[in-house]
């Protein structure tokens, strides 16, 4: 029996997701995308998971797309693969629980794009990064042309994409592509320590920060600021903020996880786990949140503001 292509382990509220194709340098293909999509969904919906670490087996994080499979695809199939990869990476990026990329080795092409879709990137000092697609006569297809300029600036991004040259971890840190560089033996402990620091904070606030940053980036500043204010107001209605501010004022400790673990229920209308939506928290109940309706964005069960208020697909004056 062959080894599983993707490993999914959970310990102490942290899911460790390992792409396990070391003989292919963890290259991405249709099967890997489907397994990643399933892993992201499990992280989002499982109550015993607060965040995730994403890494690769062997000497690569992900060395890019599987070229042997890619060269056999028709233009239509290549388009479909690109859209599927973008969809999976976008779901990862918008996950309401923090994801740390532990980049252990080569992160080329789709591997670099996958790392950029994570919320924080920790790199081994032996890691290499690059977008070498032009050397194959193509371009990044999983979001690299959009995320790389946002992280490192247009000039540096174009240099990396137009030359196809790789950079080492030290240079990736210097230009802002990664958050920290550590020795190989310290990579997973450092990623775990970073995630533990995040999980010590309010879970609703973590999800709201991620949502505001990534969705706000696609909006004009005034609309993004309005979205931030709306999120801030929702937090003020939540039990998380009430307990958090009370604990700080009283200078006593508080376990966010213990409260949310006790409070979670299954939403009878949506048939999904309600993670502590602000309206439900304000009522002291954990059932259907009446402010949600068709067209709402309610990923994970707590954010229920109408799409037309701040979603980039809406236009001023659109009805809710």
Reading the block at residue 310, the tokens are 């701040």
- Considering only CA atoms, which of 232, 130, 127, 239 is closest in space to residue 186? 127
Of 133, 171, 223, 243, the catalytic one is: 133
Whether the Cβ atoms of residue 156 and residue 197 lie closer than 8 Å to each other: no
Helix, strand, coil distribution of the chain in percent, nearest 5:
50, 15, 35
**By C-alpha distance, which of 92, 97, 93 is closest to 217?**
93
Query: Cα(195)–Cα(186) distance, rounded to whole angstroms?
Result: 14
113 is catalytic: yes
Residue among 34, 77, 87, 113 flagged as catalytic: 113
12 vs 257: CA distance, rounded Å: 11
Neighbour tally for 76: CB within 10 Å: 8
CA-based Rg of the chain, rounded to a whole angstrom?
20
| 77 catalytic per annotation | no
Q: Which residue has the tokens 């309600």?
A: 274
Catalytic residue numbers, as ranges: 113, 133
């Amino acid at each position: 029996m062959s080894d599983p292509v993707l490993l999914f382990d959970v310990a102490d509220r942290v899911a460790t997701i390992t792409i396990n194709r070391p003989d292919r340098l963890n290259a991405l293909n249709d099967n890997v995308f489907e397994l990643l999509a399933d892993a992201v969904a499990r992280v989002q919906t499982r109550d015993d998971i607060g965040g995730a670490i994403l890494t690769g087996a062997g000497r690569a994080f992900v060395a890019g797309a599987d070229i042997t499979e890619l060269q056999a695809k028709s233009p239509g199939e290549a388009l479909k693969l690109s859209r599927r990869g973008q969809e999976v990476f976008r779901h990862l990026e918008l996950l309401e629980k923090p994801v740390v990329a532990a980049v252990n080795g080569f992160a080329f092409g789709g591997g670099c794009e996958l790392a950029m879709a994570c919320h924080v990137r920790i790199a081994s000092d032996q890691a290499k990064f690059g977008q070498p697609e032009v050397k194959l006569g193509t371009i990044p297809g999983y979001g690299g042309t959009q995320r790389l300029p946002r992280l490192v600036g247009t000039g540096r991004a174009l240099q990396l994409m137009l030359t196809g040259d790789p950079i080492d971890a030290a240079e990736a840190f210097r230009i802002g592509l990664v958050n920290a560089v550590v020795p190989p033996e310290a990579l997973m402990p450092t990623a775990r320590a970073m995630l533990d620091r995040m999980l010590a904070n309010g879970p609703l606030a973590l999800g709201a920060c991620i949502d505001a940053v990534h969705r706000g980036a696609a909006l004009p500043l005034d609309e993004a600021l309005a979205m931030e204010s709306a999120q801030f107001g929702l937090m003020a209605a939540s039990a998380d903020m009430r307990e958090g501010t009370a604990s700080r004022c009283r200078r006593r400790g508080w376990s966010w996880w213990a409260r949310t673990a006790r409070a979670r229920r299954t939403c009878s209308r949506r048939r999904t786990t309600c993670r502590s939506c602000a309206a439900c928290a304000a009522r002291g109940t954990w059932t259907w949140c009446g402010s949600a309706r068709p067209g709402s964005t309610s990923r994970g069960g707590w954010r229920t503001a109408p799409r037309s208020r701040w979603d980039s697909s809406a236009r001023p004056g659109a009805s809710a």
